[in-house]
A and B are shown apart, each in its own frame.
Chain A
């Protein structure tokens, strides 16, 4: 359940980046398949760590790109939902390329509350 630690780290990072005074409505995260992050678990952990805080209204949206595989024989690269996938050339020893990213991509912020502009 590393999602709880990730949610805590994410909340700290969001607070570092948010413009002062404006509400953060949504944050977009990308978790590569190496990270083994369950979007549902991260969303639940996010609710738990932001409950009752300045980020309570903020949703987390988790993007999980597929595996990027490379065939050692012919060099072809392709995307796959499964780590074990056979290349069109027949080789079944494709290895993953990248996939270890865990990124805060962007945040959606609202307007300044009236009178604070």
Chain B
């Protein structure tokens, strides 16, 4: 006997993510899920960000890695609340990792939570963590074809960051090609170019974060929706087999 179901396979993850989102909204914590390849500069960008944030914005970080506490140790030098998550065999963070990490944070003393996902351009994208926004980080040393090769990341990210732009004179990276691919996949995507070494673009990136925090506070006070970005339910409609060609 065949039983029709049509349900999102990651439904149970999404339920935990929804609970995370509700907890974070209650604490008025704006949360970013930062995704990028290993070596793209996620931790370096966070170090630079945490050092530059105004004292009035209290930040915390959850950092995911398969193994070691090295990133967590680096970030502890610039942030009071850091939780390192070791995922073992799992190549991305899932909502239950974040739920456990949230238990170790004092959400009443946080305005901004940055989740540094495991270095990976593919696997983290489909797993909702309860974040307010997703940020996709690329770097020029990875090559200008990476947006085209990772359409899910580009389309799901509320903001894209292109890092290490100080290295543009030394690497084969055509910014026009990269931008065209991004625009094709997500026509109105916001893209910020950064260099942690020279400081280029860091103000834009930090202002974006602060703007999201401010929007969350304002919306929270007025009783409106508090999640920014894509806290939307996943679609559960199967693709049409008979779609007209």
Q: Do the beta carbons of A99 and B185 come within 8 Å of each other?
A: no
Q: Do the beta carbons of B245 and A78 come within 8 Å of each other?
A: yes
Q: B151 to chain A: closest CB distance in Å?
A: 6
Q: Do the beta carbons of B239 and A9 come within 8 Å of each other?
A: no
Q: Do the beta carbons of B3 and A99 come within 8 Å of each other?
A: no
Q: B15 to chain A: closest CB distance in Å?
A: 11
B55: Cβ under 8 A from any A Cβ: no
Residues of B within 8 A of A (CB): 1-13, 89-92, 94, 122-123, 126-127, 148, 151-152, 155-156, 180, 184-185, 187, 234-239, 241, 243-245
Contacts of A100 in B (CB 8 A): 126, 152, 155-156, 234-235
Q: Do the beta carbons of B239 and A108 come within 8 Å of each other?
A: no
A93: Cβ under 8 A from any B Cβ: yes
Q: A68 to chain B: closest CB distance in Å?
A: 6
Q: Do the beta carbons of B9 and A6 come within 8 Å of each other?
A: yes
Instruction: From the candidates A17, A29, A102, name the one contacting B3 in the complex (CB within 8 A).
Output: A17
- Bound complex: CA of A43 vs CA of B151, how far in Å? 24
Give 26 pairs: A residue, B residue, CB < 8 Å, sorted on A: A2-B122, A2-B123, A2-B126, A2-B127, A4-B90, A5-B127, A9-B9, A10-B9, A13-B9, A13-B11, A17-B3, A17-B7, A68-B243, A72-B187, A79-B243, A95-B185, A96-B185, A98-B235, A100-B156, A101-B235, A103-B8, A103-B238, A105-B5, A106-B4, A107-B5, A109-B3
Q: B245 to chain A: closest CB distance in Å?
A: 5
Contacts of A12 in B (CB 8 A): 12
- Bound complex: CA of A36 vs CA of B187, how far in Å? 22
Q: 0/1 per residue, A78-90, Cβ < 8 Å to B?
A: 1100011000000
Q: Do the beta carbons of B152 and A35 come within 8 Å of each other?
A: yes
A104: Cβ under 8 A from any B Cβ: yes
Q: Do the beta carbons of B238 and A95 come within 8 Å of each other?
A: no
Contacts of B122 in A (CB 8 A): 2, 36
In the complex, which of the residues B1, B9, B180, B243 has the most CB atoms of chain A within 10 Å of its own CB atom? Answer: B9
Instruction: From the candidates A2, A10, A13, A101, name the one contacting B236 in the complex (CB within 8 A).
Output: A101
- Bound complex: CA of A110 vs CA of B123, how far in Å? 34
A residues 22-57 in Cβ contact with B at 8 Å: 29-30, 32, 34-36
